[in-house]
Amino acid sequence: MNPNIQAAWEYHNLTKHSLSSLRLNQHSLDWSNQPRPYKEYTNLGPLPLPKDLPATNISALSAMSILEVDRTAEAIPDLRTLASLLHFSAGITKWLQSAGGRMAFRAAACTGALYHIELYVVCGDVPGLPAGVYHFGVHDGALRRLRSGDFRGTLVEATAEENSVLDAPVSVICTSTFWRNSWKYQSRTYRHSYWDNGTILANMLTVATAHHLPARVVMGFVDDQLNHLLGVDGQREAVISLVTLGHAPSMHPGSPGPVETLNLETTPLSKGEIDYPSIRAIHSASSLSKPDEVSKWRLGASLDSAGVSMENLVPLRPIGPDEQPKDDIETIIKRRGSSRGFRHDPVSFESLSTAVDMATLGIPTDFLHDSSYALNDLYLIANSVEGLEGGAYVFHPPEPGLELLKPGSFREEAGHLDLGQDLAGDASVNVYFMTDLNPILERFGNRGYRIAQIEASIMAGKLYLGAYALGLGATGLTFFDDDVTTFFAPHAQDKSVMFLLAVGIPSKHQGV
């Protein structure tokens, strides 16, 4: 079904926000049926992870400035390093007290703080951890063994012998449990699956780099094969991405063996679940069914970028390495929040330049042979940036610089585009990750919708980290889809918004 791209368009258009769609939506939250924020196996004992996590001793911005760790040397994470990667990607970093009680705040941003992304580890024998398939229990910071033995050969087969999978001593598989997010966001949850996975992966890639571990995002795989390996049904909970960690050609797995069906009991999420068929439909339509289908899918992309009007180009002015803040990535992840208010004070163009530069250096993936190329373009509304004229801009990475599309003050318009909320209007700058889905879907089929979403969210997650490393605040926001395209027209004609991040000076009592 993947080549039948009408499915992606149907889902995308169905889940667009508009004034009329919000007025017609009668959905309300049933708090008595709110899903649990954790997956808990009822009959599997925990394998506690180390609490004494190793220090990386490298600044967050320095780690973010490295596109990819060299793959010539052997790099095998031990259990302490793996614990650090899991904790600073999806673990609990602090507890917050609210009127409803204590809430666990996690390492990466998530829509509605509903935390529907689960992490699983598939590894060979690594220091401190026998080969197996494990689930990462966020609620207690422990692993639970689902399968004993080396099942990396199954990953190699399912990914059509992707090189980074073949060489990886450890891989992390990410799933989305749709109901945990659709309880609030209904059918739009499928977008959120990649938004919320992307912010986790931004953390994971940066922490891996800080530990000198090669890491690559793999989006080409046989869906049913990975779902079966983890014992998930592919309907309520489904695999959405895979990340390889480390480089160990000496540990190549053997041929895949039989994978028995798992029947593991878990605690029910809530007293009842509401099904949103459009989520299942787009996931099924964007699935790959055989390794040779994966091979054909993963041929690489060749897409044209927009032209540059040089007289309107403002070169970025990033802060030099010696002047950049030195806080390490662990400190930044612990510091990160989601700003609930912004002052109208300006951010410096140097800080904005640094954050944008770090976010757009590239992402190591299996779907683009040139990791410096991006499917998404960055469009900005600069409300208050010291050293940059107010207005609407598009970012051009080769130069790198911002092209002024139209000057002016657009706080009111920015607030409207964010469903009429104050945050975008108050923020110093709003960054819209936009892409032309037409060539992407033509090239990648419906699965192109997945990769466009996750690439945008990884870049946004890196921008998130960069903002906090520079002492700023940030928050992800939702948007009126077509109104954003209209605002940036004619330059953004035919482009769709994948992610919106607001950046600015946080209010003193912003919360998180």
Q: At what angle do helices 447-469 and 6-14 cross, to 10 degrees?
A: 50
Distance between CA atoms of 186 and 179, rounded to whole angstroms? 8
Per-residue model confidence (pLDDT) at position 299: 80
Please indicate, yes or no, whether residues 292 and 324 belong to a single structural domain of this protein: no
Nearest Cα to Cα of residue 230 among 217, 220, 240? 240
Please indicate, yes or no, whether residues 275 and 137 belong to a single structural domain of this protein: yes
Burial class (CB within 10 angstroms; exposed 0-12, middle 13-18, buried 19+) of 307: exposed
Indicate if the pLDDT at residue 46 is higher than 70.
Answer: yes
HSE of 28, CA atoms in CB hemisphere, 13 A: 3
460: its two tokens? 């946004």
Residue 350 host element (H or E): helix 349-359
288: its two tokens? 């790959």
Judge whether 364 lies within some domain: yes
Per-residue model confidence (pLDDT) at position 303: 53
Q: What is the CATH number of the domain that holds 126?
A: 3.40.109.10
Per-residue model confidence (pLDDT) at position 511: 43
Please indicate, yes or no, whether residues 239 and 371 belong to a single structural domain of this protein: no
pLDDT by residue (tens digit) across 64-120? 998 888 888 999 999 999 999 999 999 999 887 766 678 888 999 999 999 999 999
Judge whether 12 lies within some domain: no
Contacts 24+ apart (CB under 8 A), 131-138: 133/229, 133/230, 134/47, 135/39, 135/41, 135/44, 135/230, 136/86, 136/90, 137/38, 137/39, 137/40, 137/41, 137/46, 138/38, 138/90, 138/91, 138/92, 138/104, 138/106
| Beta bridge partner(s), residue 370 | none
Nearest Cα to Cα of residue 298 among 165, 136, 466, 181? 165
Please indicate, yes or no, whether residues 293 and 314 belong to a single structural domain of this protein: no
Per-residue model confidence (pLDDT) at position 337: 81
Please indicate, yes or no, whether residues 431 and 457 belong to a single structural domain of this protein: yes
Judge whether 304 lies within some domain: no
Please indicate, yes or no, whether residues 262 and 332 belong to a single structural domain of this protein: no
- Distance from CA of residue 475 to its chain's centroid? 14
Strands (E), 44-116: 47-48, 92-98, 101-106
In sequence order, what are the residues at sequence separation of 6 or more whose Cβ sits closer than 8 angstroms to the Cβ of residue 247? 71, 73, 74, 75, 167, 168, 169, 213, 214
The structure tokens 């679940």 sit at 273
Nearest Cα to Cα of residue 184 among 115, 108, 280, 89? 115
Please indicate, yes or no, whether residues 402 and 461 belong to a single structural domain of this protein: yes
pLDDT band of 304, cuts 50, 70, 90 = low
Burial class (CB within 10 angstroms; exposed 0-12, middle 13-18, buried 19+) of 124: buried
Distance between CA atoms of 185 and 182, rounded to whole angstroms? 5
Structural domain including 421 reads 310-506
Distance between CA atoms of 181 and 66, rounded to whole angstroms? 33
Considering only 97-106, 126-135, 286-295, which range has the smallest mean pLDDT?
97-106
pLDDT band of 510, cuts 50, 70, 90 = very low
Distance between CA atoms of 184 and 27, rounded to whole angstroms? 8
* Residue predicted with more confidence, 155 or 507: 155
Considering only 92-106, 200-214, 279-293, 328-342, which range has the smallest mean pLDDT?
92-106
Domain end marker among 266, 297, 328? 297
Q: What DSSP state is assigned to residue 41?
A: B
pLDDT by residue (tens digit) across 397-439? 988 999 999 999 999 999 999 999 899 999 999 999 999 999 9
Residue 184 CB: number of other CB atoms within 10 A? 18
Judge whether 302 lies within some domain: no
Q: What phi and psi values does residue 237 have, to the nearest 5 degrees?
A: -130, 130
Judge whether 439 lies within some domain: yes
Judge whether 347 lies within some domain: yes
Please indicate, yes or no, whether residues 273 and 415 belong to a single structural domain of this protein: no
HSE of 471, CA atoms in CB hemisphere, 13 A: 8
Please indicate, yes or no, whether residues 261 and 316 belong to a single structural domain of this protein: no
Q: What DSSP state is assigned to residue 152?
A: H
Domain end marker among 297, 328, 350? 297
Please indicate, yes or no, whether residues 212 and 68 belong to a single structural domain of this protein: yes
128: its two tokens? 């401190």
Three-class SS state of 430: strand
37: its two tokens? 């924020």
Q: How many domains does the chain divide into?
A: 2
DSSP per residue over 100-133, as a string?
TEEEEEESS--GGG---EEEEEEESSBTTB-SEE
Please indicate, yes or no, whether residues 58 and 102 belong to a single structural domain of this protein: yes
Judge whether 20 lies within some domain: no
Please indicate, yes or no, whether residues 429 and 316 belong to a single structural domain of this protein: yes
Indicate if the pLDDT at residue 62 is higher than 60.
Answer: yes
Judge whether 48 lies within some domain: yes
pTM of the model: 0.96
